[in-house]
Amino acid sequence: MLFSLKSATAVSAAALSLVFATETFAADVTWNVSLWGKRRAFTEHVEKLAEEVSAKTDGKFELKLNYGEALSKSRENLDGISFGAFEMAQICASYHPDKNPSLTVLELPFLGVKDLNEEIKVSMKLYEHPAVKEDLARWNAMALMPSPMPQYNFAGKGDAPKTVSDFDGMRVRALGGIGQLMNAVGAVPTSVTASETYQAIDSGTVAAASFAPHAHLSFKVVEVADWWTKNLNPGTVQCPVIVNIDAYNALPDDFKAALDSSVSPALAHYLETYDKVYEKWWPELENRGVTQIEFSEEDLAAFSEKAGPIHAAWVEENTANGLPAQEILDMVKTTLSN
């Protein structure tokens, strides 16, 4: 009995010591980050951000990445940020355009964004606009960095479109301005989520989906696709990483500096990662026998003509809702032209 008591005392002491050790080495601040899907090119800058922040604070500031919609549905991340369910999240403006209308300017079709570097430049410029800050602040949110997306070309199953008219009546997964563009050429856009797209195409619910190459790979669209629009380049989506304003303001100054200074290396890592995506993308198309469709200059011009009225309608609608919409669109076009 005496031996058992001593053993129990020793075990208790060891357990108490472990608790103190755990507390000693635990992060001083832990932020939960809400993500959907699995780790992929789209999330690599968030991975790098977490790594950089931890290194700069000796592990005292941790970004805990939660994948697979473990904390929230992708369409509800902005809501979760608004009431502090978590401190950081990725969102896509087109999932809830009425809640973040200022961000949707970068989802307008045929803006002329040439590459991911330009997408980063124009996104960061947009986030600094006072009206955009005010727009997001309604949800207690601020934009930290973009998730720069290449042009959202279509991958589809069945008969491949060869001209603009071939999209007439086609049901497609297309969000934001791309969806509006496809509607203008007679297609039927739907807002199927990324994780539902493979099943939607495989079952015939939709014929095609617009995604960046990494998403066509990650969500396995390429596995059911017969064709891909190589040069349509209709536009892209705006998917920033946002943070809860209260959580950000509560950070010690050195933690804020660590977070802010980690954005640049995080985005540089993202660009390096996306170069590797293309190294995989082209062979994947060829190995699967996916037809790469190249539209004529006449067809591309016909698509482009449809974008003008969509831009004008965006300005009119958002001006009526209190945004300096023309000013924002002009700033975007000026930034891209410089």
Which tokens hold the place of 263?
Answer: 């954005």
pLDDT of residue 186: 95
Q: Which helix (H) or strand (E) holds 31?
A: strand 29-34
CATH code: domain 153-236+292-337 is 3.40.190.10
Strand pairing partners for 90?
241
- On average, the pLDDT of the chain sits at 90
pTM to 2 decimal places: 0.81
Q: What is the average per-residue pLDDT within 199-214?
A: 93
Asked if the domains 29-149+238-279 and 153-236+292-337 are classified in one and the same CATH topology, the answer is yes
- The sign one gets for the Cα dihedral 55, 58, 62, 67 is positive
In CATH, 29-149+238-279 is 3.10.180.10: no
DSSP 58: T
pLDDT digits (tens, 9 = 90+) for 13-32: 444 444 434 344 567 999 99
Q: How far apart are CA 317 and CA 101, in angstroms?
A: 10
Q: Which two tokens stand for residue 89?
A: 């999240």
Q: What is the pLDDT of residue 129?
A: 98
As a whole number, mean pLDDT of residues 96-109 equals 96
Q: Where are the domains of the chain?
A: 29-149+238-279, 153-236+292-337
**Amino acid identity for residue 74 in this structure:** S
101-111 mean pLDDT: 95
Q: pLDDT, tens digit, for every residue of 308-330?
A: 999 999 999 999 999 999 999 99
In angstroms, the first-to-last Cα distance of the chain is: 83
Residue 21 pLDDT? 41
Q: Three-state SS across 158-198?
A: CCCCCCHHHHCCCEEECCHHHHHHHHHCCCEEECCCHHHHH
Model confidence over 232-274: pLDDT tens digits? 989 988 999 999 999 999 999 999 999 999 999 999 999 999 8
